[in-house]
Amino acid sequence: MPQPTNLTDLTVANGEPLVWGRRTYVMGIINLTPDSFSGDGLGPALDSQAGAAVHLGLGFQQAGADFLDLGAESTRPGNRPITAETELDRLLPALKALVGKVDIPISVDTYKSQVAQAALAAGATLVNDVWGLKKDPRLAKVAAKAGAPLVLTHNQKGTRYGDLLADILTSLGSSARAALEAGVAQENIILDPGIGFGKTPDHNLEILGRLKEFDALGYPLLVGTSRKSTIGLVLNQPPDQRLEGTAATVALAIAGGADIVRVHDVKEMVQVCRMTDAVIRGWRPPGWDR
């Protein structure tokens, strides 16, 4: 897929042009890690990962996903960091196998500039940085040079805040300015409040209830709640039994203004998004004439 000059040049599900506010876009998660918190990682067998990733990616596309998000390093709490070389060994075979097989944009979930550069060269379209340029600021220049959209997530070590929402908004604003100063086009920046990253369960619930306040930053918003531990704590359910809890949080995120939701269960969450969009955004399916 050729690199866009900005996000609104992208086509998503069924070749539809991306138009912010028209409906909620769905990003399907493909974990290439052996230690995914949600239990959905494709595992360490590199000779089979590429085929598994293609099978999953095509299934997600058929189910209505607008983006795929490939991650080769676990972001679960307490995970052990891996080298860029190890990350690329996991990532590139699957990415190269997917490019040309799917018709929707592929995002790479990495905070390392070296990995982002190689992934964009191999055909990825977006970079999803879970550290919002705090770990490797050079990533912004890589995205700028490639003309690639950049997701900037709020994250921090520890869970102490002076004022939760104010602190997160300030940090995300700083990340966005760093991206702009590195040459990333304003139209290519998406922000993520980072539910589950450096927050307590109560913080996560508060953020989900106050998403409207992120409108002040003026960027599209990505929200990822899928199967996260807060849902498990509220419902007393393991990761593979959090579908209904995820559905509730996705609907609430859309009501709060989310433009993209990042999910594991694409088929089910596409339906949640469309029903919620019909109420919140006035979306109607093709052929609607009632």
Q: Is 112 a catalytic residue?
A: no
Q: Is 145 a catalytic residue?
A: no
CB 119 within 8 A of CB 98: no
User: Which tokens sit at 58?
Assistant: 């095509």
Quote the strand ranges of 60-208, DSSP E: 67-71, 106-109, 126-129, 150-153, 189-192
Residue 33, exposed/middle/buried by CB under 10 A (0-12, 13-18, 19+)? buried
Distance, in Å, from the CA atom of 89 to the CA atom of 97, rounded to the nearest integer, reads 13
User: Which tokens sit at 257?
Assistant: 């203004």
Q: CA distances (Å), 123 to each of 23, 93, 108, in order?
A: 26, 12, 10
Catalytic residue, chosen from 90, 227, 228, 242, is 228
Residue 15 Ramachandran class (φ > 0 left, ψ -120 to 50 alpha, else beta) = left
Catalytic residue, chosen from 262, 267, 274, 290, is 262
Active-site annotation, residues: 228, 262
